[in-house]
Structure formats: structure tokens, C-alpha cells
Amino acid sequence: MAKFDPDVSVIGQSVARLEDPPLVRGQGRFAADVSFPGQLHMRIVRSSMPHGRIVSIDTTATLQMPGVVAVWTVADIADIPPIGFRDTRVEQLEPYRQPVLADGVVRYVGEPVAAVFADDAYRAEDAADAVIVEFEEWPSIMTADVTAEFSPGHSTEAMVVKQGYGDIEAAFGAAYAVVELDLSVGRHSGVPLETRGAIARHDAVNDIIELHGAAKVPHRNREQLARMLDRPLSSIHLFEGHVGGGFGVRGELYPEDVLVCLASLRLGQPVKWIEDRREHLIATNHSRQQRHRIKAAVDRGGQILGLDDVFFHDQGAYVRTHGARVLEMVSGMLPGPYRIPAYRIAGHYRLTNKTPCATYRSPGRYEGTFVRERMMDAVASRLGLDRVEVRRRNLISQSEMPYERDLQALGDDVIYDSGDYAGLLDRALDRIGWPALLRQVEQRRHNGELVGLGLSMFVEKSGLGPKDGVFISVDPQGDIEVVTGGASLGQGFETVIAQICAGTLGCDYRRIRVIHGQTNRIANGIGAHATRATVMTGSATQVAAWKLRDRALDAAAELLQADRADLTIADGEVRHKNQRLSPCVALGDISAWISAHPSGTDAPGGLNAEGWFHTEHMNYPYGVHIALVKVDPSTFAVKVERYLIAYDVGRAVNPMMVEGQLVGGLAQGLGGALFEEFLYDDRGEPLSVTFADYLIPTLHEIPAVEVLLTEDAPSPKNPLGIKGAGEGGVNGAGAAIASAIDDAIQCSGAVTALPVTPARLMVLMAAAPKNPAAKDRSLSVADH
Amino acid sequence: MKPSPFQYHVPLTVDDAVTILNNVAPDDGHILAGGQSLVPTMAYRMANPAHLVDINRVAGVDSVGVDNGHLSIGCLVRHAAFETPVIDGPIGDLLPKVCHHIAHYPIRRRGTFCGSLAHADPASEWCLVATTLNAIIELRSVRGTRMVAADDFFEGMMSTARAENEMLVSVRLPLMKETERFGFFEFSRRAGDFGLTMVLAVYELAGGSIVNPRIGLGGVEDRPSRNAAAEQILAGSAPSDAVFVAAAEAASASVEPMEDIHAPASYRRHLVKAGVLSALRQTVQ
Ligand SMILES: Cc1cc2nc3c(=O)[nH]c(=O)nc-3n(C[C@H](O)[C@H](O)[C@H](O)COP(=O)(O)OP(=O)(O)OC[C@H]3O[C@@H](n4cnc5c(N)ncnc54)[C@H](O)[C@@H]3O)c2cc1C
């Protein structure tokens, strides 16, 4: 790790994270670490029935149990509306919102049916076990291949998301060949080490509800809570502590968050809820499950003329806070880095009796990239062309930037701001030594090994607007506070913001305190989601730091009786640019001086500045993944031997942390490709409810990932040229690994579904046609 | 994930443990050894014992010794005791090879060999070793001690011949002869997971032929078992790849594999073939 070098701008240096000292010293403050005197513990009684009517809920025995203060069912919170959508109002989806407690009907195993409040977490769990719920079982719908009635007058197909451009009929009419695929991505999700938690207390003195354990989008959740509880905005505040991983699922507004707030108010005691792992695996958002039927029209040379996709999104039991965003992102981003002159997509948004789905790191893109890149491989195979060459022929070139497609994602027009896709492909192939690697693979195959190479290309998105603001102030001792409306999920937010502030202002980044996730410190904020924090909050920080720098120089010119143009700021002091020995003044002293001599134009309280950053459009980082895998012919296990992530981040504020984001993302992408899957039986009983069933890859299963981080295409959309780094490690993983497995078993197009488990690969290989190595592989190679 | 209420007992001697167990067993009392199986099931409330008899402070049962041609393993000997050979010779080499497949090191530091036998998970490595090597299990109750052969001990999925008031005090593994060879195969989805199939192959080589072959399978059916079909093919033959393949195919054809979310029966059946072959090939490497 690079040491902090004060003579080089700290922006772009791999400096140590500010976050780490308390974490490695055991001074972390995660949700479970938060407790208040006199607190109650909440335990949720969850549905054991996948689909059915609640006939009765008997709480008599529970109420008699020691320590039990209250048991709530829907009747006790009849005034609270279902949980709404965060960003968009989609009327069509409203009938599918989740009630805080089941309202007469249950739709998935794990749905909250009642809430028990007791003086101790153990007693709360004992008491919850004593609640007797009687159900009338209804048939459950476990696949998005079909539709049925959701509720009277409402189909399980909540909506169909459609996008497209160009003349698709003409494209298919003119095609030399049409390639059709039926592809599926399995149900998996973000599974942070820290489960969810929510601790609420009501401050009766000021009539304020405090919710601790917040994450991701505290300001937005505050607004939602105020609406749902019908309280003034200023009477609710959210507080974020350490967050042990978010990945999209943590920090959305869930029933439990609403319940603890309401209970703290109505029961007059603080209320604490900590999710357990089984709950997490059935209650927290799932993601990804989709089936695509895609067709490509291609010309003789492998150019794609048109892409026509119909997909089915298995949403689970309710529509949660995101509305239809995953489908919008699939449909808006599926074309990726390729030109694709005509495009049509229809996403069928269908409800089933499983845990509800929402966004998970690289939502819609992991799925879309898998589908698109499987198609690129299929086109190459169909036309007898090289996989790399087919991609190259379809790439949007640098000269076409900015590249506008007539598509939308996250309510934003998709306009690729900058990028050199072919350039990155070349650099990636060069870094991994593609030609030599192909020869090695050939040689090993000749020796009987089932090894293969795969690649995928993709475009990511980041920096969702519209705006973000920060407030920077310098205290008399020279420490700097940056108050943001951002959030930290452990990704290094504080360090990045401190680096940008320090680099712009001219001070040591370690003297900067970055405040995030505290709604009582700043009125606005969009938190940390959609790979936006560094772009948006970072750019706002730069704007504020520039202003602060100006003010400091103005004041110093007066104080030092110097020409402002001769002054600069370094190491937290204003100095003469050239004369090292001439007098200088520390930022803290300037702040104290301004406090004592306020002028008309200064904000009160010393040296400070507010800065806002606005953007109309997202920006678009991009990447290439290359995987080398080996299939064990006797067990059908897939081992990822090498993995390269090439990624253009525009500008890396802290390359070490960008690499960390990419490698961590890959671990999750690899999980979805080979291991992780939420399975259900036909009746709707979840089967993946422990870490023995839901398999997260460990260090043993993850290769040493190689990262090629480039800064070839800075974003023109912000002054630093930053693009986001959060999702590029996961995006292309399913696609690259699938491609490599095909290659290893010498059967193009074999992998049509993720995850590729050994049992599934056995079936695929048995069905694979005339593969020379396919005799009886189990007997052909010794192992162990 | 909080266990339901229970009463906790801490005996210091085997006699006390057995006496307490005798008193509380009818009232859903259980022994707590390493806790690596029992405590998670309690957290999930799949087990709700009313009493726990914690044997971790019982004296004199935490060592491995050699006794009359057997390796004797006391009930507080942890898995980690076998990370390296406890004795010279084939069995000393075999145990570490198997041990490394059990979970992860922190779990091996707590979990006990005898606890694994008492728990009788079909995919337990030690249960497979006990069955394949014809271990003898020592059970003690207030009425005295009885010795049960491993073959009679495992009765099904997590069910054994142990009566609820009996404590498993030790297990005895017959020492292996210098002429005995072994091979071990295990496949799990991730490092440290319970195996989807395990195979332990042991035989003696006498005059160029296989004598006394033992092919143990674990994780395949509801309990570990020896595979007679494969053993029959091996007995009396000279070791060769053709014989190994025939044994592997016979084993695979003769099992009735379990199904779970990680492996349908057809996949386990395949793994039996691959596993028997792999384990046998190791014996000639
Ligand atoms: C993540 C994880 C992975 C694992 N992976 C594996 C694996 O790959 N292979 C494997 O074999 N095991 C695995 N285990 C289980 C582990 O090996 C346990 O240690 C073992 O199954 C039980 O031993 P214990 O001493 O912990 O018993 P406990 O958990 O204390 O007890 C288990 C059961 O046996 C009874 N019992 C224990 N000792 C006695 C005794 N002396 N007399 C009578 N009854 C007794 C208890 O009452 C209880 O019913 C894993 C565990 C975990 C948590």
C-alpha cells in the first residue's frame, strides 16, 4: 500500500483507508452493537405457508409468557399503508405492494404475520414460537413461466416493460442467420456478513423517532417512514453506523423497520430487532431470477442486425421498494457495448410465491450481460467465427462517443458518455497473453484436461443524479468536517471523500472527518446506491472544497497582507507560492479569525462552504472479463483457475479500493455462476435457509483475481472524470464463466442456465454431442 | 436463532456424567460435547433439549492411546488431534488425510471424534472410518458398559444403537498392518462442506492379490456402509485398473443414493463410481 505523499495530489493515490482503525481494533458499531436502556426486543412470527389465507392467529398463550409486552397482528397497525416505491410512482404496481404485516393472505414462506415484543431477545423468540397461526393453504405459483390471479382483478403479471428502437422486422427479414437462445439466471442475492438490524427509540422530549441501523438510503427511507407513519419529516431521524455489507439488499425499507419505529412510539420503549441468518435468507430481498428467450438477426460477417428478447422476471411475492427498476435496467442496458441497429425487448414482470426480489449489485446487468454474451458466443459458433472477432466487429467505436441509444435506464436516457471498448479489449487480451493462453489450453486439452477460456464484455453505469450536496467546515484546530448525505456500506466512502476534499483543498486527508448517513446533520442525500457515491458526493465535495479554498485564500490575503495570486494551500496552511520562509497561516487559524471577524458574505461559524453537484445523465464505465476454468471430469466440479477483470473507471480516486471493489464483486459474480441459488420445493418451501444450503464461495473457491484498471475514458460529465467502480467486478462474471465452461467441455452453447452446479454439468456433458473427450470421462482421468 | 430454555449440567467425572444423563435423558436431556452439531441445531430450534450435560470438563477422556491392538480414542478427543499422525503406520497416515476434509480448523478444534459417531450424520468422515475399519464403540450407562461394533451401531440417518441414557465413552479402531493400503476420496461443493460422497478403500496385499478388501461409502445412503459388491470383485484379484473399474461400477450400481438440493441420486451414483475408482487408484500410487 502506498504511503501518503503530501507532495503529490492525494487524489489517485492508494492511501490507507480511514475506516479501518476502529474496525480492526474491535471498535466497530454495527446494528447489533446499538442498545438503549429499557429496550424491548422484537421477534417476527413468519408465515410457514407459501400461499394461503390466514384463518386465525391465536396469541393468548404468548401474552401470558414472561417478559412479553405486546403482540401485534395486522389489526393493530391497520392505519399503516403498505410499503411504497422509493423513486417512482407506478400506479400499475400498487396492488402488489407488501403490507407491513400480512393482511389476511400470505404469499411466501417468511412473510411477517405478527410481531412479538418482549424484554429479552430469547424470551421474544420463545414467545413468537407460541403464536399459533392457522392457514388455509392455496396452490402456490413457483415459476414465472405461467400467470394466475394475484388478487381479485389483478394478474400475477403485474406489468410488461417494453423498450426498443429501429426496424426489428426489417432486421430479421434481412438476416443471413437467426440465432435463438433460451437462457436463465438463477435466484440468488447479496448476502452480507452482517444481517439487517433496526433499533428505534422515541425521544419524547422533542417528539422525534430515531431509527438506528439505517443503511444505503437513510434520507429516502426517512421520507417514506414519515409518509407511512403520517408524521412530519422533522420528527424522524435515521442514523447509520457501520454496515457489514449492503450489495443492494441492505438498507431498503422493510416491514421490520416500520414496525420498530411504530412500536417505539406506541409502546413507549426503545425497540431492537436483529435479523437472524435464517430470516435473512427468506426475508431480505432475493434477486436475479429471469428467463430470456432471445433472438439475434445476423449478417454473414457476424454483425448483429437486430436483437429481439422476451424475458420473464420471477419477482416473488410482492413488489418492493424498487418498483420495476430491475426490468428497466435489463431492458435499457442489455445491448451493452455493441452497436445493434434494431432492438426490441419485453420484460414480463411476474409474481410468484417466493421471497420478493429487488436490486442486487449490478442489477439487471449481470442478467443482461449473461444473455447478451451467450448470444455473442452463439453467433460466433453458428458462423464459424472467432469469439473475439465477432465481438470486435460489433463494438461501438470511440469515434461514435457520446453514443445515444433510444433507451432508458433508471428513468435516464442511455447515452454512453465516453469509452474505447475495442481499446480495452486489446489491452485485456494483451495482459492475459491471450494467444499464448490459447495454445496452453490446447496443449492441456490434448493431454486430456477439460480446460477452457471464456470472455465477456459489458458496459456498466454509475453516477445517478440528479444532484448531491455537501457542507465542509474547518474547526479552529484545523480539522475538517465534510457533512454528506451519502452512505457507507463499507466500500471506503469516507476515504474517497476525504481524498477528494484534501486533494482539492491542500491538506492531509487524515485530518478530515466525513459524516454520512445522519439525517439530522444534513437535509438532503441520496445515500449509496447505483454506484453513485464517489461520482455524485465526490463531485459535490470537490465543488465545496473549491469554494472553501477560495474563501481561505481571500481571508489569508487579508491576514498576510499578500497578493492573493501569490498564495497557495499546502498541508493545511496558506503560504506564499515561491518563498518557503515567508509567513503562513493555518486553515484553523483562518477559521477562528473569520468567526471573530464575520463579514457580510461569510456563512456563520468560521471557514466553511457548501457545494452542490448536478448532473443530467449517468456515466458509463465498461469492462472485459476473462476466465480460465477447469472441469474435473470425474466430479464435474468447475474450478476457476485464472480470472482477469479489465475495467475502465475513468479516473480512480484510490486505485487500491477500486481493485477491492472489483475483486469483491467477482466473488459474488462467481457465486452466482457456480454456487449460490435459492431453491424451493414444488409446494413453495424454501430449501436454502442456512449457509450449508446456500453456498457462498470462500477463499478456496475464488482464484487470485488479476485486475487491469484503466483510465482511458474519463467521464466528461464531472470535473474529475470519475466513473463508478462498485459493480464492474460482478457484471460480466456469469457470462465469462459460462463461456469458459462451454470451451472446456468443447460444446458451444452448452451452458444456458446459471448456476452451473456439478450435478447440472453432468447432465449437460452427457447430452453434449460427439465430444472426443466425452466417452466415459469419469474413468478417463485420475484425480486426488 | 436463540435456543429455547434448557438446564445446564457440568459433571466432572464419567460416573457423574452417566448418572446425570440417566436422570435427565427421559426428560429430553442430551450430552453436549464439542457442540458443533448440537448447538447449531439448537439455534435453529430443530433440537430443543430440556437439559444439557456438558462433558467438556470430565477428566481423563481426552487422550488417544494404544490398547491391545487398537487405537483408543476418548470422548473428548477433538478432530484436530488427528491433524498429524498420532501413531506410526498406515492408520497414523490415514486419519490426518481424512481429518482435513472435516469442516474447517476452528470447528475441528472443538468437535469430537466420538460426538461425530453419536451424531451419526451420514456424511460424517469419522463414521465412515469407524464403519470401514470395524471400530468398536464403548457405551456406558448407570448399568455398566457395553461394546458395540460400528456395523451394529449406525442404524440410519442420525440414529444409532445408543440408548438415550448411554454415554459414548470411547471408540477403538483396530490398528492397520504395515501391508495394508488405503485410499480416500471425498467430494464436496466447497472446501469444508459435508461430502456429497466419500469413499474409503482399504485392503491388504498378500502374494500379489487383494486380501480383506473394505470399501466404505459415506454420504451416499442414510448411514455409512461397506459395499459388498465392490469388495467381492476385489477379493483375490491382483490390483489393476480393470479390476478397479469393475469394482467402481459394481459399487455404483448397487447403491440407493439419497437426494438433496446439492445432488440428485443420479449424481451421487456417479460420484460413487468416480470415488471408488479414485480411492482404489491411490492404493497403487
Ligand atoms: C460449518 C460446519 C461444518 C461441518 N462439517 C463437517 C464435515 O464436513 N464432516 C463432519 O463429520 N462433521 C462436520 N461438522 C460437524 C462437526 O464435525 C461436529 O463436531 C460433529 O458432528 C459432532 O461432534 P461434537 O463433539 O461437536 O458433538 P455435539 O455437537 O456436542 O453433539 C452432537 C450430538 O451427539 C451427542 N453426543 C456428543 N457426544 C456424545 C457422547 N460422548 N456420548 C453420547 N452422545 C454424545 C449430542 O448429545 C448431540 O446429540 C461440521 C460442523 C459445522 C458447524
State whether A698 and B262 contact (CB < 8 Å). Answer: no
Please list the residues that pair with A119 across neighbouring strands: none
pLDDT at residue A372 tops 90 = yes
Give this prediction's pTM: 0.96
Chain A residue set in contact with B, beta carbons under 8 Å: 121-122, 125-126, 129, 276-278, 634-637, 675, 679, 687-688, 690, 692-693, 695, 697-698, 700-701, 757-759, 762, 778-779, 782-784
Q: Is residue B247 part of a domain?
A: yes
- Phi, psi at A749, each rounded to 5°: 85, 5
CA distances from A3 to A14, A491, A527, A660 (A): 8, 20, 29, 18
| Cβ-nearest to A784 among B5, B185, B264 | B185
Distance in angstroms between the alpha carbons of the first and the last residue of chain A = 38
Q: What is the pLDDT of residue A529?
A: 81
% of chain A exceeding 70 in pLDDT: 96
State pLDDT tens for residues A328-353: 999 999 999 999 999 999 999 999 99
CA closest to A686 among chain B residues: B261
How many beta carbons lie within 10 A of that of residue A693, not counting itself?
Answer: 16
**Number of neighbours of residue A279 by Cβ within 10 angstroms:** 21
Q: A562, A551, A550: which is closest to A591 by C-alpha?
A: A551
Please tell me whether residue B119 adopts helix, strand or coil conformation. helix
Rounded to the nearest 10°, the torsion over CA A307, A310, A316, A317 is: 130
Strand locations in chain B, DSSP E?
7-9, 29-32, 51-54, 64-67, 70-74, 136-141, 144-149, 154-156, 159-160, 167-174, 180-187, 197-206, 209-218, 225-226
Distance from CA of A281 to the nearest CA of B (A): 13
C-alpha B156/C-alpha B47 separation (Å) is: 18
Is the pLDDT assigned to residue A3 strictly greater than 60? no
Measuring from atom 52 of ligand 1, which residue has the nearest CA?
B36
The confidence score (pLDDT) of residue A464 equals 85
Q: Using a CB-CB distance cutoff of 8 angstroms, which residues of chain A are in contact with residue B47?
A: none
Burial of A288 per CB tally in 10 Å (0-12, 13-18, 19+): buried
C-alpha cell at B269: 451414483
Q: Which of B32, B54, B76 is the last residue of a domain?
A: B54
**Domain-by-domain residue ranges, chain A?**
20-28+466-614, 34-139+195-243+250-283, 364-460+621-783
Q: What's the angle, vertex CA A638, arms to CA A636 and CA A642, rounded to 5? A: 155
ipTM: 0.96
Residues present in chain B in total: 285
Residue B23: which CATH number?
A: 3.30.43.10
Please indicate if any CB of chain A lies within 8 Å of the CB of B223. Answer: no
Q: What is the pLDDT of residues B96-113, one digit of tens each?
A: 999 999 999 999 999 999
Q: Is the pLDDT of residue B188 over 50?
A: yes
Mean pLDDT along residues A180-199: 98
CB B137 within 8 A of CB B74: no
Domain carrying residue B77: 64-174
For ligand 1, residues with CB inside 6 Å are B 30-38, 40, 75, 102-103, 107, 111-112, 114-116, 118-119, 121, 124-125, 167-168, 194
Element (H, E) at A237: strand A236-239
Q: What average pLDDT does the segment A193-215 reach?
A: 97
Q: What is the mean pLDDT of chain A?
A: 94
Selection from B83, B13, B84, B21 nearest residue B53 by Cα = B21
Q: Tell me the DSSP string of A377-417.
A: HHHHHHHT--HHHHHHHHBPPGGG-SEEEEEEETTEEEEE-
Percent of chain A having pLDDT more than 90? 91
* Residue B2 resides in a domain: no
Amino acid A776: pLDDT: 43
A523 by Cβ neighbours in 10 Å (0-12 / 13-18 / 19+) ranks as exposed
- Domain CATH code at residue B84: 3.30.465.10
Average pLDDT of span B165-189: 97
B142 and B76 co-located in one domain: yes
Q: Which residue has the cell 484498471?
A: A709
Asked whether residue A568 carries a pLDDT value surpassing 70, the answer given is yes
Give the three-class secondary structure for A296: strand
A34-139+195-243+250-283 shares the fold of A20-28+466-614: no
Cβ-defined contact of A695 to B193 (cutoff 8 Å): yes
What CATH code is carried by the domain that includes residue B209? 3.30.390.50
Residue A279 contacts by C-beta under 8 Å, 6 or more apart in sequence?
Answer: A44, A46, A110, A195
For residue A385, pLDDT over 50 is answered with: yes
Cα of B15 from ligand 1 centre, angstroms:
22
Question: pLDDT tens, B198-231?
Answer: 999 999 999 999 999 999 999 999 999 999 999 9
Q: What is the pLDDT of residue A773?
A: 46
CATH assignment, A20-28+466-614: 3.30.365.10
* Inter-chain CB proximity A758 and B245 less than 8 Å: no
Which of B45, B189, B263 is nearest residue A695 as measured by Cβ atoms?
B189
Cell numbers linked to A151: 388478487
Same domain? B185 vs B170: no
Among residues A621, A529, A713, which one has the least CA distance to residue A333? A621
Whether the predicted pLDDT of B7 surpasses 90: yes
List the one residue out of A619, A625, A618 whose CA is nearest residue A645. A625
Instruction: Choose from B42, B48, B184, B187 for mutation: most chain A CBs within 10 A.
Output: B187
pLDDT tens digit sequence for A468-488: 999 999 999 999 999 999 999
Question: Which CATH fold topology does A364-460+621-783 show?
Answer: Aldehyde Oxidoreductase; domain 4 (3.30.365)
Q: Residue A68's pLDDT is what?
A: 98
Same domain flag for B164 and B252 = no
B186 in the same domain as B124: no
Q: Check B44 against A125: CB less than 8 A apart.
A: no
Are B163 and B236 contained in the same domain? Answer: no
Q: Higher pLDDT residue, A429 or A464?
A: A429
Residues 6+ apart with CB under 8 A from A479: A511, A512, A513, A588
Q: Could you give the CA distance from residue A488 to residue A222 in angstroms, rounded to a whole number? A: 17
Is the same domain home to B108 and B189?
no
Q: What does the pLDDT read at residue A781?
A: 37
Strands B180-187 and B197-206: antiparallel
Q: Which residues pair with B135 in a beta bridge?
A: none
Q: For residue B21, which atom of ligand 1 is closest to its CA? A: 43
Assess contact for B3 and B43: CB atoms under 8 A: yes
Q: Examine the domain organization and report whether B197 and B216 are in the same domain.
A: yes
| B242 in A contact zone (CB under 8 Å) | no
Fold classified for A34-139+195-243+250-283: Aldehyde Oxidoreductase; domain 3 (3.90.1170)
B121 plus B96 within the same structural domain: yes
Residues with Cβ < 8 Å from A550, sequence gap 6 or more? none
Could you tell me the CA-to-CA distances from A725 to A531, A532, A534, A653, B235 in Å, in that order? Answer: 7, 9, 9, 10, 62
pLDDT of residue A411: 87
| Ligand 1 atom closest to the CA of B124, numbered from 1 | 11
Number of domains in chain B: 3
Going from the Cα of B108 to the center of ligand 1, the distance in angstroms, rounded, reads 10
